[in-house]
Chain A
Amino acid sequence: MHLQLAWRNVWRNVRRTTIILIAVIIGVWSMILLGSLMRGIAVGMIKNGISTLTGHFQIHRNGYRDDPAIENSMPDPSVVESVLKQVLPEGSLWTRRVRVSAVASNARHSAGVTMVGIDPLTEAKLSFIGTAVSSGRYLTPDDHNGIVIGEALLDKFETKIGHKLVLMSQDTHREMASRAFRIIGTFKAEMESTEKQYVFVNREISQKMLKLDAAISEIGIILPDKPDNPNVYHNLKTALPHDQYEVHNWRELLPFQTAYLRILDGFMYIWYLVVFVAMGFGIVNTTLMAVYERMREFGLLKALGMKPWWILREVLTESFLLLITGMIIGNGLGLVSVYALSGSGIDLSALAAGAEYAGMTRIIYPAIDLKDITIANLVVLVLGLCVSAYPAVKAARFTPVEALTHT
C-alpha cells in the first residue's frame, strides 16, 4: 500500500520524473561505463605485466632482485621444484628461466638486451611468447642456435630471419662469453620496449654458454585460479629457506602497475562523487518542486492525523523509487555498453606510442568489477536519499493550517 502510493505519486508528473530519471540514468551509465574502462586499463596493464615473463610469483636466489647478476643464480632448481610440488595448488604451472643482460650485435648494430633462456614448451603456457610469434617459428627443445627476437629489434638491427646475431654476456667465471645464434622467428608484443628488450633462446644453450651447469636465474609460477592467493604466498615463504631463496608476488614484481591500481580506486571514487553532485542538485530541486506542489495535500493529510514521520517516510520512499528506477536502467545500459565494447575493445593503435608511454596496452577491453559497480550504486542511493531528506523534512514540517491556506 505504502509503496504503491509512493510509486503513483512519482508518476503524477510524468515529464518531470522522466527528465530527472534521464539525469540519474546518464549519471549511473557513465559511472558504470567509464569505471569499467578505467578498470579495463588497469586489468590490461596487469595482465600484460604478468604475461611478460613475470607470472604470479617468482622465486630467486636470495639477493637476485636487488642485484640481478649471474652470481646470484639458483644452483639447484630441483630442490625448489620439489617444494613447489607440495605447496602449490593443483593445476599450477611453473618454468625455469635463465635471465641475464647481454649485448646483441650484428655487423651493423649493437644494443643491450635481456637474454632469456627458456624451456620452450612450458614457457609457452606461462607467458606471452607462446602466442606472440609473428613470423618465422617459435623455439623447439632441440634448437641449438635458434633465437627468437622482437620485431622492433629486427627492424632496428636492419636484419632478417635466417641471419646471424651474436650475443655477448658475462659467464660465471666473469669472462665474456659470446655465441652466434641464427634468428628463427620474431615476436610481436604489446609494448615496443618488450620487443626491443627480450631475446629468447633455449635454456640449456644459455646455461652452456654462461657455464651455469644446472643453475638458473628464476622460477616463474602461474596459479590456476586467481593471481592473489595469500595462502600460497605464505606457504612458499615458509617452505623455502629464507637465507637461500626469495619469493615475490606480482604486486612486488610490478610496482608501476600496483601503484596505478592504488591511484585508480581513489580516482574512481572522486569521479563517482562528482557525477553524483551534478545530479544531486537536480534531485533536490525536483523533489522540492514535487513537495511544494503538494503542500495542500500534505496539510490535509496532517489535519487528518498523519504523523510528520509518515510524511517524511513517504517523500523519502518516492525518492528511493526514483533512484532505484534510474539505477536499474542506468546499470542495464551500462552493462549493455560494456558488453558491446567487450568484443572488439577500444583500439588505441593510432596512439600506440602514447599508450606505451603511459604504460597502457594498445587495446582497452572494459572490465566489470563487482566492487566498482556496488560502490557506484551505493554512492547514488545513499547520497541520493541524504539529499532528499532536505525536501522531506520540509514536507514533514508543514503545519496543517498554513498548508491548507496555501494556494
Chain B
Amino acid sequence: MSIDVKMAWRNIWRNPRRTMLTICAIAFASLLLVFMLSFQFGSYETMINTSVKIHTGHLQIHAHEYLKKKSIRQVVSEPQEIAHLLQTIPKIEAYTFRGQAFSLISSKERTYGVAVTGIDPEREATVSRLKSSVREGEFLAESDKDQALVGKLLAKNLHITPGDEVTLLGQGRDGSIAATVVSVKGIYSSGIDEIDRASIHIPLKTFQEIYAMGNAIHEAVIIVESLSDVDAIKRSLNVKLQSQNPDNPLTAVDWEELMPGLRQSIEMDLVSGLIFYLLLIIVVAFSILNTFLMAIFERTKEFGVLMAIGTTPERLTKVLLIESMTMTSVGTSAGIIIGSLITIYFQSRGIDISGASDLLSQFGITGRIYPKLSWISAISGPLAVLIITFFAALYPALKIKKMRPVEAMRAV
C-alpha cells in the first residue's frame, strides 16, 4: 500500500463517528437504488411476459398493414409455408395461427358486438394462457367443432353458462354473410376487462369455414425462448419473408409494435424513476459534502505544516480525494451488498401487491412482483452515486491549492 493510501485510510478514521454517518448515507442511497432498479426491471419483465402471454405473443406475422387496418381481407394465405419457415428458426418456443373477425353475438335475450378469434386449441395452449384462464367449463379440444370459449364479462352480459347456444353473425372474407350457431364450452377470465367483455374464441377450422377463409389465417403468433432474442428473430424473419414473396411480403411485428402503450409506459416509468433517483443522489451529495469540507478546515494547520516541510499541494489534493473516494467506495460497496441481499431475498419470495391488485391486474401484474437483480441494476445506481460524490469531493480538495503554508499554520 502506498504511503498516500495509508495516510488517507488513517485520516478517515480520525473521527469514526462522522465517517460512519457519511458511509451510512452513501450506503443508504446505494442500497435503495439497487433495490428500486431491480424492482422496476423485475416488474417490467413480469408485465411484458404476462402481457404477451395473454394474447399477443412476442412476435406476430401478418399481411402487410394488417396491424393498422385489421381488415378481414388482409390474410396470410399459405400458413403452411409460414409453419415450415418457423420450424427452421431456432429459439422459437412455440407458435400458433389465428383468424380474427368482428361479429354480432346473440344469446336468447341479448346481442353484443365482439371480436371472434379462431384458434388451434392444441397450439394455442402452448402460446397463451387462454387455457389456464378458463374458469368454468372446459378448454376447446382438437376435435371440437361449433364450440366456443366466451369471456367472463361477456357471458354475464349475455346471461349464458357453458352448454348454452349463441348465434354469430358477421361478414366473411368474400363479403358474404357469415352466420352460425355455436355452443359455449368454457368461460375464461383473463383479468383484462377489454378482453373479457368483448371476445370469444372458436376452433380455427370452424372459423375458416364460417368466414369463407379457405386455408387462410390472419396472424401467426410466436413465443420465443427469451425476451432478449426477440429482436434478432424479428430481423431474420423479415429477411426470410421478404425473400419468400418479394412483391408483397408478409411482415413480422414484435410486442412493442403490438402493444405500443406497454413499451411507452415502461419508458415513462423508467424516466420518472431516474428523476427521483437523481434528486435523491443530489440531496445525499450535499448532505455529505460537509464531511468532506470539514476534513480540510479542521486540518488547515496540519496542511500548512505538511506544505512547509515540502509536501506538494497536488499530493495533498490526492490524499484528500483518496479519503473521500475511499469513504464513498466503502459506502457504495456496502450498499451494493446489502441491497443485493435484500433484492435476492425478495426475488425468491416476491413482494405481495394484493393491496393494489385491482389496479395492477389491468397491466397484467397479478399476485406478486419479483424484483430481478442484474448487473445493470446492481451497479448503475451506486456508480451514479460514486460519480456525483466525486464531484462533491472535488470542491474541497481543490481548495488546498489556494492555501499558503504560513497563513495555514497560523489557523486555529
Contact = CB atoms under 8 A, between A and B. Distances in A.
A289 B259 CA distance: 55
Nearest to A66: B156
Contacts of A102: 113
B391 interface: no
B28 A289 contact: no
A330 to B, nearest CB: 11
B411 interface: no
Nearest to A276: B283
Which of A102, A263, A289, A357 has most chain B Cβ within 10 Å? A357
B114 interface: yes
B334 interface: no
A134 interface: no
Interface residues of A, number: 59
Q: DSSP class of A's interface residues: helix, strand, loop or mixed?
A: helix
Interface in A310-364: 348, 351-359
Contacts of B76: none
B282 interface: yes
Q: DSSP class of B's interface residues: helix, strand, loop or mixed?
A: helix
A103 interface: yes
A285 B356 contact: no
Contact of B29 (A22, A278, A285, A355): A278
B409 interface: no
B408 interface: no
Contact of A20 (B69, B260, B290): B290
B71 A109 contact: yes
Which of B111, B170, B283, B355 has most chain A Cβ within 10 Å? B283
Given A174-B109, A278-B29, A256 B362 contact: yes
A11 interface: no
Interface string A29-43: 010001000000000
A255 B5 CA distance: 60
A38 to B, nearest CB: 9
Nearest to A285: B21
Contacts of A108: 71
Contact of A15 (B110, B114, B293, B362): B293
A355 to B, nearest CB: 7
B388 to A, nearest CB: 12
Interface string B282-314: 111011111101100000000000000000000
Given A109-B71, A351-B268, 12 more contacts: A20-B287, A23-B283, A67-B156, A110-B102, A256-B359, A278-B287, A279-B284, A279-B286, A281-B28, A288-B18, A351-B264, A354-B261
16 contacts: A16-B294, A27-B283, A103-B104, A110-B170, A111-B113, A262-B356, A275-B279, A278-B29, A279-B283, A279-B286, A281-B24, A282-B287, A285-B18, A285-B287, A354-B268, A358-B269
The 7 closest A-B pairs by CB, nearest first: A282-B287, A354-B264, A357-B261, A112-B113, A281-B25, A23-B286, A103-B113
